[in-house]
Amino acid sequence: MLAPFAAAAIALAGVAGARPAANLGPHEAAWSNNYFVSPTGNIHCRYFAYERVLACKTLNNGRVAVVPLYGSAYVGFITNYSFPSGPVLYYGQTYTVRGQFRCVSQANGMFCRSVQTGRGFALAREGYRLL
Are the CB atoms for 38 and 46 separated by under 8 Å? no
Q: How confident is the model at residue 15 (pLDDT cuts 50, 70, 90)?
A: very low
Angle at 41 between CA 36 and CA 43, to 5 degrees: 65
Per the domain annotation, does 4 fall within a domain? no
Per the domain annotation, does 33 fall within a domain? yes
Cβ atoms within 10 Å of 26's Cβ, excluding its own: 6
Q: Is the pLDDT of residue 24 over 70?
A: no
Per the domain annotation, does 5 fall within a domain? no
- Measured CA to CA, the distance from residue 113 to residue 131 in angstroms comes to 8
Q: How confident is the model at residue 4 (pLDDT cuts 50, 70, 90)?
A: very low
Q: Could you tell me the pTM of the whole model? A: 0.77
Per the domain annotation, does 56 fall within a domain? yes
Per the domain annotation, does 1 fall within a domain? no
Per the domain annotation, does 98 fall within a domain? yes
pLDDT per position as a tens digit, 56-112 = 999 999 999 999 999 999 999 988 889 988 899 999 999 999 999 999 999 999 999
Per the domain annotation, does 19 fall within a domain? yes
- Per the structure, the count of domains in the chain is 1
- Measured CA to CA, the distance from residue 34 to residue 14 in angstroms comes to 8
Calculate mean pLDDT across residues 12-25: 34
Cβ atoms within 10 Å of 10's Cβ, excluding its own: 11
Cβ atoms within 10 Å of 82's Cβ, excluding its own: 10
Print the domain residue range for 99.
10-130
- Measured CA to CA, the distance from residue 130 to residue 75 in angstroms comes to 8
Calculate mean pLDDT across residues 28-53: 86
